[in-house]
Amino acid sequence: MRARQSKEHRNDQKKSVEVLHRTQENSQSCLDTPIWRPAQLPIQWADGSCAMVNGIFYLMGGYTFGTYADGNTAFTGMYAYNPETNLYTTLPNPPNAHGRGSIAVAVGAKIYLIGGYPLGSTVDVYDTVAVSWSSPRVNAPNNYTNGPVAVYDVNGDRKIHIINGHPSSRFHDVYDPAGDSWSSSSALPPSPTQFSTLGVRSDGKVVIVGGIPAPSGNRAMIYDPVEDSWKSGNAAFPFDPELNESGLTYGNPRENPVFNDKLFIISGRFALSGRHFTSRCHVYDMNNDVYTAIPSTNGIPRDGLCGTFYNNRLFVFGGRYATSSQSGSPCVDALTVQRNVDGSLGYAWSPNQWSIETFSVYDPAGTILTPGHNLATWIKTGEEYLYYWRADALNPGTGGKVGRVYAIRNTTANTTIQFLTIAPGSSVTVCKWLDKKFGTSVGDTLTLQVQSDDDAAKPANIYHTIQTLRFTR
């Protein structure tokens, strides 16, 4: 039985690879259609990395559900995405689980997958021609569990430069793939960061923007490989007027999203609270130290996404929603960059297959409600895969407590999707997960229902917001 399963597994992988090769040979490009949408990921995915080899995106590392503090369900698989055919192919699993914050680097036809939680110094190598992994390689000298950035062949040295990846320690390590050996550069970046955005200028200089903590003065860090030295830019990352914050902490993506010497920073998170996400996007002119705002992404803001350019289109995969740090996103967005008649660049996001629906309800102070009371009801109109539930207890006052229990229920199927308790003294309660499915079919009736009463004075005014991401085919 074991031998037969192994043979079947090999045959499945062979079929997947054959599909990949056929899609590479397909002469009809999905990108040529007037209205084109990138296919969404087969999984929810965040904090991973991708590498491009011969026009194919290879997606690996990161996690699919949970955070490292909650057990971190690392993504142990691997996909190839062909932008020409808009199809995904399943590839052999990496030999090790490179969870949150790993980095993938293409070296010719091979991909080096480095670090990630919990094996921060482990290096595995994938051969895109042989369609196989090899391990172990010599471990890295430092532990990269927090999203380092990396670049290959700086100034023609044919080596991989791993930079930072820790919130308090500065790293600049150099890996020689040919000799399978490591060395550490004495030229360290000005600030320690994790989850930055890296770009390479046409003159070979390496530029890093954002990260945790935000670099000193929230300015770009620039590495000159000829002088083997770092310096900081003069311009600070733009202030966000909507969030009333400055200091981009999670820049996205990390894999050299550069077009025409401009570095693209897509969505992300800001520094003051560490939990304020933004849908705003910017390009950083790496030659002139200037930031310019470009159109925001479609849908809900997220960080921890990855991606890079294919021709003149930037693909960004997955990420983590603003509403929860514990769940990955299946979303894929594509930004087309075009040169206008006057020489300027124009930007347009492809239509997204996810739409946002928001339901709100107010539970006023002093009310005594029996279990089963419906506060809100709506009819399911599509496949609502994901939701976010927030309850604000405004002005809780003194002498009373907040302890009422609520539930989201599918009354058509007579099932409870999620309970939420307003904890005593709490002002805000947030549902932990963002992967709960609403119902099983279109037309189901969904309700926000009271499950218990706290039997005490109720000075709090409780305001519920339920936001769903609805997938439309």
Residue 19: per-residue pLDDT? 40
Check: CB of residue 234 under 8 Å from CB of residue 260: no
Residue 30: per-residue pLDDT? 52
The Cα–Cα gap between 39 and 44 comes to 13
How far is CA 107 from its chain centroid? 24
DSSP 44: -
Residue 326: per-residue pLDDT? 55
Tell me the backbone φ, ψ of residue 388, rounded to 5 degrees: -135, 130
Beta 383-394 vs 461-471: how paired, if at all? antiparallel
The Cα–Cα gap between 48 and 129 comes to 22
**Distances from the Cα of 465 to the Cα of 388, 428, 429, 435, 443, angstroms:** 8, 11, 11, 16, 21
Residue 435: per-residue pLDDT? 54
DSSP 376: E
pLDDT tens digits in sequence order for the chain, 473 residues long: 333 334 444 444 444 444 444 333 333 345 555 467 898 888 888 889 999 999 999 999 988 864 434 445 788 899 999 999 999 999 999 999 898 889 999 999 999 999 988 878 999 999 999 999 997 789 999 988 888 999 999 999 999 999 998 888 999 999 999 999 999 999 999 999 988 999 999 999 999 998 888 887 789 999 999 999 999 999 999 988 777 777 787 778 999 999 999 999 998 887 655 567 788 899 999 999 999 999 988 766 788 899 999 999 999 999 887 655 556 788 899 999 988 888 888 898 888 777 777 788 888 877 777 888 898 888 877 766 677 787 877 665 544 566 788 898 888 888 888 888 877 666 677 665 555 566 667 788 889 998 887 665 555 678 888 877 776 65
Domains along the sequence of the chain with CATH? 11-352 (2.120.10.80), 355-471 (2.60.120.40)
Residue 338: per-residue pLDDT? 87
Residue 22: per-residue pLDDT? 37
